[in-house]
Amino acid sequence: MSGIWLYLVAGILFLCSLYADRAKTRKALAKALDSFRQILPTVLGMMVLVGLVTTFVPPTTIARLIGPQSGALGIVTALAIGSAAMLPSFVAIPLAGSLLKAGAGYPQVAAFISTIMAVGVVSLPLEARLFGWKAAALRNGAAFVTAMVFTLAVKEILV
């Protein structure tokens, strides 16, 4: 359903853009293709990984680890995995969809995607070099707390 309005909004804006400036619209299309090409290898790799994992790890195991009944431990697991590295949101959302289909619970997926987008322990040294350790640690800590609050909200409201 929301997929339809995504197409609708993009389609209308595209037509407006085409009407206003053909050359700019062509540049926009080139940029769209370029961005898509850039994330495609990572997304496809993630999809294969998810395909492999779901084949070898039965849904019952996924459900036990991060399923709706996995409770606080499942949330902690999801927060920990999500905090390890950072993935762009375009990659995180399809991954979240796959996890949900594989039997993960909503709060656990919330914990995973909110941390994977904003908390990155692996990239912390890079961030610290740019902003200083204090600011980098604070930003990651803040993003982690935010992820926890969001997860609890999903747990209370959506489940």
Partner 1 sequence: MKAVMRQYRFLLLMLSLLLLTWLVSPQSGRGAAVATLKSISDMLALLPPVFLLIGLIDVWVPKETILKQLGDGAGIWGILTVLFLGTLSAGPLYAAFPLAVILLEKGARPANVYFFLGVWSSAKLPVIMYETGVMGTTFTVLHLGISLTLYYFFSLLTERLAHSLQLQPEG
Give the nearest distance from C-beta 98 to partner 1 in angstroms: 5
Question: Per-residue x/- marks for partner 1, 26-45, CB under 8 A?
Answer: -xxxxxxx-xx-x--xxxxx
Task: Give the per-residue contact string, 45-84, with partner 1 (x = CB under 8 A; - = no).
Answer: x-xxxxxx-xxx----------------------------
Sites for partner 1 among residues 80-119 (CB under 8 A):
86-90, 93-94, 96-98, 100, 106, 109-110, 113-114, 117-118
Q: Which amino acid is at 117?
A: M
> Six-digit token pair at 96?
């979240």
Work out how close the CB of 111 gets to partner 1 at its nearest, in angstroms, rounded to a whole number: 11
Choose between 9 and 80: whose C-beta lies nearer to partner 1: 9
- Residue 141 token pair: 């800590």
Least spacing, CB of residue 73 vs partner 1, in Å: 21
Compute the least distance from the CB of residue 69 to partner 1, in Å. Answer: 19
Burial of residue 103 (number of CB atoms within 10 Å: 0-12, 13-18, 19+)? buried
Nearest CB to partner 1, comparing residues 70 and 104: 104
The distance from CA 74 to its chain's CA centroid, rounded to whole angstroms, is 18
Distances, alpha carbon 144 to alpha carbons 66, 131, 141, in Å: 18, 18, 5
Rounded Cα gap, residues 114 and 92, in angstroms: 9
